Each structure stands twice: as structure tokens, then as C-alpha cells.
Homo-oligomer: A and B are copies of this chain.
């Protein structure tokens, strides 16, 4: 995430009222960061746990039913609180959406980058393969935020999409660089254009939310392997 956008969220949209209420947003920009507390005791304060529960519940429902079909009362029920209580933690339904989207995209981005950085010196094909795998894992296995984001973003009204454009673009560019480097290195054919390729690949990956049902531990890895193969080798019998 480093370059992409180091932090948003902290009061960057106009807050009309009730700044007095609500605790600080604990989202400190690093999704996978370790305990921010010095001493692991007192762990997560109650407030933060509630907040997270609400977001988690919202993400699941948004993903399943979409944003507008999801009721605050549904979110509350799933978080085992009452609808009104949500407003102790968030100013509006839109704000919940906002954070769900943000966490979702940060999560895939982080996951993909980490996977590639950890890999060290490997072939470009391997790098793309790792990205495919990481993207699918984030989408299908580890994060309701990511799958909610991918699934509902397109149908959102403009004003809800706007704040997320920069990070989306950054993620797209990250993939583009991946492909570009592979092409430069001769691991991808020279006649292939990067942007359509990225659209094609991410499309195939993202659409898995519509049909893939996680069954066993390795299902996603198997899917990733298969997908990478299709992308690189194509289906034609040589």
C-alpha cells in the first residue's frame, strides 16, 4: 500500500455533526498491522470490537444482497446489537459502506503485494501467478470486505464511488506493471496490450464470486493454478 495511498479515512469527508460522539476510527491504514497496543492486555477495546463486528456484518450482507437491499436493522441483528447503536460508531450507512469498500480494496492490494514481495527473485510468470493466487484468496477466502467491494462497486451511485477511485486506480496500475514487466522480459507476447489484458484477467478472477463456493482448503489454490494456466497457455492444442 505504501505508495498507493498511505491513509485516508481520518475525517477526510465533511462531518456535519456529532463529532463529539463516536470514538476515533481505529482504522489506522494498515489492514494487517499487529496489535497497536503496547501491552497485549486490554487487547481490543470494546468499542473497536463492536465497530469491527458491524463492519464485518455489513460486508457479508452487502456482498450477498447488495448495498441498497441491505438494511441497517439487518446489519445490527447480525452484529447482535440494536439498529440505533450503529450510530454510536458510524455517522451513516454511507460511512459504513465507505469503510467496507476501503478495507476490501486495501486487503486485496496488501495481500497481492505481500505475496509478490515475499517471493523475492522469481520469474515474471511466477509473479503473475502469485498475484492471481493472492487476489483469489483475498476474494474468496479471507475477506468479506474484498468480495463485497468487488461485487457491489459497479452499481453504486457516483458520489459513493468517487472517494475510492484513487486506490482502485493504484491497484490497476500495480497489475499493469506486473504485466508490463513480464512483457518486457519476453515472458508475455509482445503483441498483447496491457490494459485489455488486465481487464480480461481481473474479469475472470472477479467473476468467480458469482459462482465459486469454498469447499475445501485447497480449492482456491487449485482454481488459481488452473486460471494461471489458462491465461498463459490458452486452450489451444499446440
Contact = CB atoms under 8 A, between A and B. Distances in A.
A211 B69 CA distance: 23
A121 interface: no
A115 interface: no
A200 B202 CA distance: 11
Interface in A199-235: 199-212, 223, 226-227, 230-235
A155 interface: yes
B232 A236 contact: yes
A227 B200 contact: yes
A154 interface: yes
Contact of A208 (B73, B199, B230, B238): B199
A235 to B, nearest CB: 5
Interface of A: 18, 20-21, 64-69, 73, 76-77, 125, 151-152, 154-155, 157, 186-190, 192-193, 196-197, 199-212, 223, 226-227, 230-238
